[in-house]
C-alpha cells in the first residue's frame, strides 16, 4: 500500500479512537479520509492504491468487532 499523509488533527483523532479501543469508528474514519482524498483527486495515479486502502478499511470495519486492530501507524505508514 502507498503511504497516505494525514494532518495533525486527523492523527490526533485516530489516536483518541485507538486509545478508546473504538476500532469500528477508527476504520470508518480512515475510510472517510481515503475516499475524500480519492474524490478530491480522481485523476491522481495513486487512486488505485488509495482504493485498495479504502477497501481494507471497509474490510477491517466489518470484522473489527472489538478485537485489537492492526496498528494504524503500520497500516498507513504513519506514527500514531
Per-residue pLDDT at 69 exceeds 70: no
What whole-number distance in Å separates Cα of residue 65 and Cα of residue 3? 26
Inter-CA distances, 55 with 12, 16, 49, 60, Å: 23, 23, 10, 9
| Predicted pLDDT of residue 21 | 83
Question: pLDDT digits over 15-66, tens only?
Answer: 898 889 888 888 888 888 888 988 999 999 988 888 888 887 777 777 755 4
pTM higher than the cut 0.75: no
Amino acid at each position: 500500500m502507498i503511504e497516505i499523509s494525514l494532518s495533525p488533527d486527523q492523527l490526533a483523532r485516530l489516536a483518541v479512537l485507538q486509545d478508546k479501543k473504538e476500532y469500528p469508528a477508527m476504520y470508518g474514519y480512515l475510510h472517510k479520509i481515503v475516499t475524500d482524498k480519492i474524490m478530491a483527486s480522481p485523476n491522481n495515479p495513486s487512486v488505485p492504491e488509495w482504493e485498495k486502502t479504502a477497501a481494507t478499511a471497509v474490510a477491517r470495519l466489518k470484522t473489527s468487532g472489538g478485537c485489537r486492530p492492526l496498528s494504524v501507524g503500520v497500516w498507513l505508514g504513519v506514527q500514531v
